[in-house]
Structure 1
Amino acid sequence: MRKKPPGQLMSKSAHKIEREYRVLLALQGTDIAVPRVYCLCEDSTVLGTSFYVMEFLDGRIFEDPSFPGVPPQERNEMWCEAITTLAKLHTVNIDAVGLGSYGRRSGFYNRQIKTWKETEHAQSTVVDVDTKIPVGRVPGVGQMIEFFSQGQGPQDRACLIHGDYKIDNLVYHKTEPRVIGILDWEMSTIGHPLSDIANILQPWTILAMSSSAAHQLLLPFQMTAGIVGLPSIPDCLEWYANVAGWDPQPEMIWADAFSLFRMSVVRQGITARHASRQASGSTAVEIGRGMSVCVALTLRLISKMRDMRTNGRARL
């Protein structure tokens, strides 16, 4: 069963389980691996909030993108499967599956900038239940929003996107390096494919930029540089391009920067939920502290893009 959390929600864009049910239902007859859904209940008097019931998938879920305990060759195959599964998702005919009205077909990143700007502001005003101190703004948010609003982002594209595509939202077969289900579709929409690509590759982006930052942001994982069997970013982008039919590499830096900016607001949101006691335990606090690291990495990428433009390399 999937349901919304209790109480006042911090973000209007999160926990949209009705949309999640709709997209899962639409993908039932395709070759995209999703669990079967059985019913949606929007009557809040039943459980206090909307919910739906779906099939249980008997497989493996890995929270760590380095796939600890898995043989090196299988690690590579599992990452290839994750990337090619995403590429297949991005080639789904949205009209044919009844999702033509699931979102707008242009201006995705412009809408994202507006959404995350509003979300950041709303979360900053949340007051801690005990200390009565507001969560506060994401450091450098004005500078980041200004850069992303300059209209120099990626070429506009539109497809069905997952919205939070990452390893721990995939269910793998119990013994094979094969994805049998994609979970957690609440942020899915018609949007830009780079958003999903940047999200799944974010651990590599972090590792490539700073070992100290990687240590803080990837602390729950064993993932470090040099693990045998893990592919490189170019490997992943080539796998994607071979299936999707276009090369995302030239525009990845902008998408990576926006993905890290978004993550900084997500981490602010975790802090806000902890402040209002919708999230409990020390983990919520620790994850929230990573917000400043996400900001630092975002600003580094923004600086790099500015340097590239100054040197005449306009396409990012």
Structure 2
Amino acid sequence: MIAPQDRQKLAQWLGARLDGMGPDLTLRPISGGQSNPTAFLDSGTRHLVLRGRPQGVLLPSAHAVDREFRVQKALAGQGVPVPEVLLYCDDRSITGTEFYVMERVEGRVLHDNRLSELPAPERRMVFDDLARTLAAVHRVDIDAAGLQDFGRRGGFAARQIARWSRQWDLSNPRPNPDIDRLKAWLGAHIPAEDCTTLVHGDFRLGNVMLHPSEPRIVAVLDWELSTLGHPLADLAHSCVYTWFMGPQDYGRGLRGLDPAALDLPRMEEFTARYFAAAGGGAELSTFWLALALFRNAVIFEGIAERARQGNASAANAAEVGRLAPVLARLGAALTEDICP
């Protein structure tokens, strides 16, 4: 993640800005992610987390650690559990890329939506808190948090279709008729209803931290895709990772399983919990699910391209990238069932 010769520069840079730092530091990479390389950082009496952009050529606007830092700083005291962010550095001479550091939060990050590590009675409690926490993100007063310029208001769906269509082309993909069908269908079915909230952009089980021993969320992580947008885009993304991916896929989802037999909620139960906590709405439409599948197909194709370039953040990037056509096919099938 950081070249050995750069660690001393990093130790000096942090030591000049943070109390409790020692003359040396240790870094332990945190595995499992496909986005911004992340590591535990220990020095002196400080136990921190360092998060930076990947090395190499990146897609435009991807891996925006500056936005991650800004939104987490703005959310302090806003009712959304986030780590305390400390410092942001855009001087690439320190580590070779931009980075930020934050306080370490103790807890558990569980990536498998079956939650087999937990006692059965706690599994629904985790999903209930996941729904409540996502609703809390969407209830944030954008102006009070100083995020009024964090994105554009209104028109989020159309911009997302255009953005991810461009990203697909930039990822140098193989031809995919399902992507072509999804783009056409989405463009013709944008909902008339519109609203704007803060959106996380990648809200799912693997991006929250649970209390070390209790079934509740103590931190929401990985804010690199956060912006102002439509809350149902966030909700649909969570649903795609949980109920549209299989247990062997990257998302470790529940597709093909019986949630009730595992003491887990069905998608309709989860969305009902979300709408109750959000204070409005009653249905997650096909459009938002199809958009989430399209968007994630593009993201996974980008991961595959980074694997081809040799600068992916995780060793299984090529395997993960093979999910792109699977998600595109699921999205196309979903829209064809509703509107051929």
Q: Same fold (TM over 0.5)?
A: yes
- Matching residue of 1:76: 124
The Cα shift of 1:220 comes to 4.9
Aligned pairs for 1:181-220 within 5 A: 181-206=219-244, 214=246, 217=249, 220=252
- Matching residue of 2:194: 156
The Cα shift of 1:113 comes to 0.8
Distance 1:222 1:215, change over 3 A: closer
- Matching residue of 1:313: none
1:8 to 52, 57, 63: 57
> Which segments of 5 or more consecutive residues in structure 2 lack a partner in the other structure?
1-49
- Matching residue of 1:310: none
Amino acid aligned to 2:326: V
The Cα shift of 1:168 comes to 0.6
Distance 2:208 2:303 in 1: 22
Distance 2:254 2:137 in 1: 28
Q: In the alignment, does 2:91 pair up with 1:38? A: no
Distance 1:220 1:282 in 2: 17
- Matching residue of 1:58: 106
The Cα shift of 1:137 comes to 3.7
- Matching residue of 2:133: 85
The Cα shift of 1:141 comes to 2.3
The Cα shift of 1:138 comes to 3.9
Deviations 1:147-186 (A, max 9, x none): 1112533621110000000101000000111111000001
- Matching residue of 2:65: 17
Q: In the alignment, does 2:267 pair up with 1:271? A: no
The Cα shift of 1:34 comes to 0.2
Distance 1:103 1:222 in 2: 33
Amino acid aligned to 2:144: A
Distance 1:22 1:203, change over 3 A: closer
1:247 to 256, 281, 297: 281
Deviates more, 1:233-242 or 1:76-85: 233-242
Distance 1:218 1:50 in 2: 27
The secondary structure found in structure 2 opposite 1:238 is helix
Query: How many residue pairs get matched?
Result: 289
Identity of aligned residues (%): 34
Structure 1 length as normaliser, TM-score?
Answer: 0.86
Deviations 1:90-129 (A, max 9, x none): 01100011001111110001111111011000101xxxxx
Distance 1:298 1:47 in 2: 40
Structure 2 length as normaliser, TM-score?
Answer: 0.80
Distance 2:271 2:254 in 1: 23
Distance 1:179 1:219, change over 3 A: closer
> Which segments of 5 or more consecutive residues in structure 1 lack a partner in the other structure?
125-134, 208-213, 308-316
Amino acid aligned to 2:330: L
Q: CA RMSD in A?
A: 2.0
The Cα shift of 1:76 comes to 0.5
Q: Is the 8 A contact 1:171 1:182 kept in 2?
A: yes
Distance 1:202 1:32 in 2: 22
